[in-house]
Amino acid sequence: MSARPLPEATFARTVLGSGPGLALAHGAGSSVTGTYGPILEGLAARHTVVGIDYPGSGDTPRSTTPLELDDLADQLIAAAVAEGLDTFALSGYSLGGPVAIRAAARHPERVTALVLTATFPHRDNRQSLSLPIWRKLAQSGDRRLLAEYLTMMALGADALEAMPDEQVQQAIGFTAASIAEGTPEHAGLVPRIDVRDDLPHITVPTLVISTTQDWFTSTRQHHQLADTIPGAELVEIPTGHLPMVERPEEWQKLITDFLGRHSA
């Protein structure tokens, strides 16, 4: 069915639920369960959910070469097709946003809808400054220091300031334990991403979820996506970069309500 040949689906994947298809693309330094874990069961209650783990995440071996966006996009589509889905919606979070956009651009006949959360079309100046720090910390092997940096950057101001010190330390410990081994390669890919040329050609219903207290991806980038993708809707959620931590039920509802109106 696909106009573009698909590779063999080689990335580890998570498959849950039944109903219309929904393929998930996770964030950098994370995995399917790390990104979507708190809402996976809720999504699977209405959809056949297929999520891939990028190289160095979950059970997918770490890559020995730099990652390429087209490869991740094709693997996302290939995994869903390998699970028997002909057409399906895509949900992309953070790095998964450009993965989903590129997948929709390369395989438009497969995609029925698009949901983009806390994501970006290309790097901005803040990312040009923050990503090298993230990558160097990941390469250093000092997981605690990297976790402190990520906790500071990823949590919204409301959530972070509401935490007592003990809870902040617990969050740092949890983050340190869950950092993907492939984080340096993930962080190395982000500065090379530019999907701006893809955006005007996206023809499926699209929802952009803007995380309004986000330090990793800015509301300016969220609005650029919504303004450039034809007919895209934009909604706001008052969180930092981690809606799955700060407001998981609200995030899930935004996704499922939109897909309920637009999934084939």
Tell whether 8 is covered by a domain. no
pLDDT the model gives residue 185: 96
**Contact yes or no for 185/62 (Cβ under 8 A):** yes
User: Can you point out the beta strands (E) in 11-98?
Assistant: 13-16, 21-25, 48-52, 88-93
Q: Are residues 155 and 84 in the same domain?
A: no
Q: Are residues 117 and 248 in the same domain?
A: yes
pLDDT the model gives residue 262: 87
**Contact yes or no for 227/130 (Cβ under 8 A):** no
Parts of the chain with a pLDDT under 50:
1-2
Q: Are residues 119 and 132 in the same domain?
A: no
Tell whether 227 is covered by a domain. yes
Instruction: Give residue-wise pLDDT tens across range 164-173.
Output: 999 999 999 9
Tell whether 65 is covered by a domain. yes
Q: Are residues 136 and 37 in the same domain?
A: no
Q: Are residues 40 and 19 in the same domain?
A: yes
Q: Are residues 216 and 171 in the same domain?
A: no
Residue with tokens 């340096």: 184
Q: Are residues 115 and 154 in the same domain?
A: no
Domain stop point among 115, 143, 178:
178
Q: Are residues 159 and 223 in the same domain?
A: no
User: Can you point out the beta strands (E) in 53-117?
Assistant: 88-93, 111-117
Counted domains in the chain: 2
User: Can you point out the beta strands (E) in 99-156?
Assistant: 111-117
Domain of 207, CATH number, reads 3.40.50.1820
Q: Are residues 24 and 119 in the same domain?
A: yes
pLDDT the model gives residue 3: 72
Range of the domain at 38: 13-124+193-262
Q: Are residues 111 and 147 in the same domain?
A: no
Rounded distance, CA 205 to CA 47, Å?
17
